[in-house]
Structure 1
């Protein structure tokens, strides 16, 4: 059974996430005034993409991200004609979003009242409320998001309106992937959290469940001990929400 919808309602990362949950082989087709893009998902991985101007592979993914008008539909059971994408989806998405960010092209649609996603609306609202409560009570965490390890955004609340939620989610997913591999290679167990320091503040990435991570933005003059404690508290609350315990 095929699934279809409007590109004004669902962006590409969410569409791909839907396709990855539909079966072993799914084709994602974007029909727009600029032409048609087709992405092929096989066993949960995006393995090939084609664009209307002859783009292939990761280049086609990058151009597909700016598609805003038109429709999409998913066709289960359609096998890829070839395989031009070898890297994980979150790495491909991260590079594509970075490229768009450098060129100034928009990488996400205008805000809308409701954003379709894999989790039920009730759960999504609870996650948003948990983040709102955290930011209202904390002076050590000034921005927060909950994202999947594949870059899917569950909820985001950042102080700056020009923050690209999709880009932050992709970066966090890439950080998680690298950190998880580092822990395994050094035999230090499973990933718990990582802290990245910049000149103007920090980004904290902490595991919520094996498939979901919490992202916190911290100011430069932060009490890291308090921030870590608050991160432990919020991730415990988020885990209960995701498991349907509250």
Structure 2
């Protein structure tokens, strides 16, 4: 790895592409399931650390619900508010992708686009975090 390079650039590129492809997406966050911020893309008007923590909370209750109901591991959860959405997706077993959308977001299209992105992110984060110091 060269000095000054960003080991997460390919992950940032995935987030930027998702945001640019979908009308109404206001930002993306990658967080650990513990609520700690890993990285974010173009969030304006939101504190990325808060979004990471909220995503972990949504993950926790959804994971417990799936377990109690015998429905398997966490995959995704969407929270709809009056003026927008927070969609949280599993990225492997230890990370989450949170996508913030406004009320004009097409949530069905977001789900279609985000699911393959989470697979690619899981692969990239596994590769890039296996040697974090070069």
Q: Do these two structures clear the TM 0.5 threshold for a shared fold by scoring above it?
A: yes
Q: CA deviation at 1:244?
A: 1.8
Max radius of gyration: which structure?
1
- 1:143 equivalent to 2:27? Answer yes
Distance in 2 (alpha carbons) for counterparts of 1:213 and 1:202:
16
Provide the rounded CA distance (Å) in 2 between the counterparts of 1:223 and 1:217.
Answer: 12
Tell me the residue number matched to 1:182: 65
SS of 1:222's equivalent?
Answer: coil
Give the corresponding residue for 1:171.
54
Alpha-carbon distance, 1:203 to partner: 0.4
Residue 191 (structure 1) aligns with: 74
Unaligned runs of 5+ in 1: 1-113, 115-120
Determine whether 1:219 maps to 2:102. Answer: yes
* Aligned: 1:127 with 2:19: no
Q: How many residues align?
A: 124
For the pair 1:241 / 2:103, whether they are aligned, the reply is: no
Between 1 and 2, higher relative CO (CA 8 Å, sep ≥ 6) is seen in: 2
Q: Report the 3-state secondary structure (helix = DSSP H, G, I; strand = E; otherwise coil) of the residue aligned with 1:139.
A: coil
- Residue deviations 1:150-173 (CA, integer Å, cap 9, x gap): 11212112442x411111111111
CA distance in 2, matches of 1:175, 1:158: 21
Q: Give me the whole-angstrom Cα distance separating, in 2, the residues matched to 1:216 and 1:199.
A: 16
**Within 2, Cα distance between the matches of 1:127 and 1:152?**
17
Shift of 1:221: 2.4
Q: The residue matched to 2:46 in structure 1 has which SS?
A: coil
In structure 2, C-alpha distance between the alignment counterparts of 1:163 and 1:224, rounded to whole Å: 20
Q: How does 1:198-217 map to 2 (within 5 A)?
A: 198-217=81-100
- The structure with the largest helix share of the pair is 2
Moved over 4 A (4+): none
- Give the unaligned 5+ runs of structure 2: 129-134
CA RMSD of aligned residues (A): 1.9
Return the offset for 1:201: 0.5
2:132 is aligned to none
Q: Secondary structure at the match of 1:177?
A: helix
TM-score (norm 1): 0.47
